[in-house]
Amino acid sequence: MGALSSAIVPGAGQLFLGQWRRAITLLLIFATLLICFWPLRFPRFYVAFVLLCWGWIVLYVYAACSALLARNLEAEVRPSVWWLVAIVPATLLTLGLSGAALARASGFRSFSIPSTSMENTVLKGDQIVADMRYYRSRSPEHQDVIIFERDGTFFVKRVIATGGDTIQGNAGDVSVNGQTIIEPYVQHTSRNPSNWMVDFGPVTVGSGKYFVMGDNRDVSLDSRWQAFGLVNKDSVAGKPLYVLGSSRLGKHVQ
């Protein structure tokens, strides 16, 4: 019972066994990790996110195994292999579910990139972490990479023009309010892109809307295409922060 309790809430099993000092220590560590997620929201930094995840894993595994061993030592019997078989998977399951729930409750969410439309900023197959509360207190600005939702699907694109701007494409160059913008993040992978990808507009962006484009300009379906259109402010869901799962661990999305 003690091991199972600690597999759910680290330190609870030690309380059940009367190990007050160890229980209080584990509960304080548990509370500290919770505070780091919210309200401090440290997972917005890659290194902090990794350290918090490892701290979460170590805490849960140690608390459950410590309670199991203490129970058996008090009874002066050898720990049962079957208890370990039961407790370890239960601990891994609860720490995984609780960690994911805590991250989401704190406003962070991971996404897998299914296409090449934003390469080389994010690559197909990258796992990214996004702050889903970032734009609750601010509005997207020019050249911000945003996540928005449309018809139940999340998209990652870059804001090129905002409300009141007039944007136009001419032979691959993009101008906003008559000024050609510098875009070091753009790549071209096709010698014969569709005409609407190269020449478009002029388009005047309405209030509360955004003209978005993919960084891989020759393959991205975005606001240049009339069927895709502009992005409404209400559909902006979050801001990508960094790459979590790929060969480019920790790369910031910018």
For the chain, how many residues are written? Answer: 254
Backbone angles phi, psi at 156, to 5 degrees: -120, 120
Same domain assignment for residues 115 and 237: yes
Give CA–CA dist 94/96, Å, rounded. Answer: 5
Question: What secondary structure does DSSP assign to 40-100, as a single string?
Answer: S-GGGSHHHHHHHHHHHHHHHHHHHHHHHHHHHHHTT-PPPHHHHHHHHHHHHHHHHHHHH
Asked, for residue 165, whether it belongs to a domain, the answer is yes
| Catalytic-labelled residue, pool 157, 209, 220, 239 | 157
Same domain assignment for residues 115 and 241: yes
Q: Is the pLDDT of residue 156 over 80?
A: yes
Strand, helix or coil for residue 241: strand
What's this model's pTM, rounded to 2 decimal places?
Answer: 0.89
CATH of the domain at 113: 2.10.109.10
Mean pLDDT of 239-253: 88
Question: Between 20-37 and 46-74, two packed helices, what is the crossing angle to 10 degrees?
Answer: 160
Same domain assignment for residues 232 and 128: yes
Asked, for residue 179, whether it belongs to a domain, the answer is yes
Span 190-203, pLDDT tens digits: 888 999 999 999 99
Asked, for residue 253, whether it belongs to a domain, the answer is no
Span 47-88, pLDDT tens digits: 999 999 999 999 998 998 888 777 555 555 555 555 556 677
Same domain assignment for residues 69 and 141: no
Question: What secondary structure does DSSP assign to 149-177, as a single string?
Answer: EETTEEEEEEEEE-TT-EEEEETTEEEET
Q: Tell me if residue 137 is catalytic.
A: no
Contact assessment for residue 174 and residue 217, using Cβ atoms and an 8 Å cutoff:
no
| Catalytic-labelled residue, pool 66, 117, 220, 223 | 117
Contact assessment for residue 235 and residue 135, using Cβ atoms and an 8 Å cutoff:
no
Asked, for residue 254, whether it belongs to a domain, the answer is no
Q: Tell me if residue 209 is catalytic.
A: no
Same domain assignment for residues 238 and 122: yes
Number of structural domains, the chain?
2
Same domain assignment for residues 171 and 198: yes
Bond preceding residue 39 cis, omega within 30 of 0: yes
Q: Which domain holds residue 187?
A: 109-245
Number of helices and strands (H, E) in the chain? Answer: 6, 11
Of 56, 79, 106, the last residue of a domain is 106
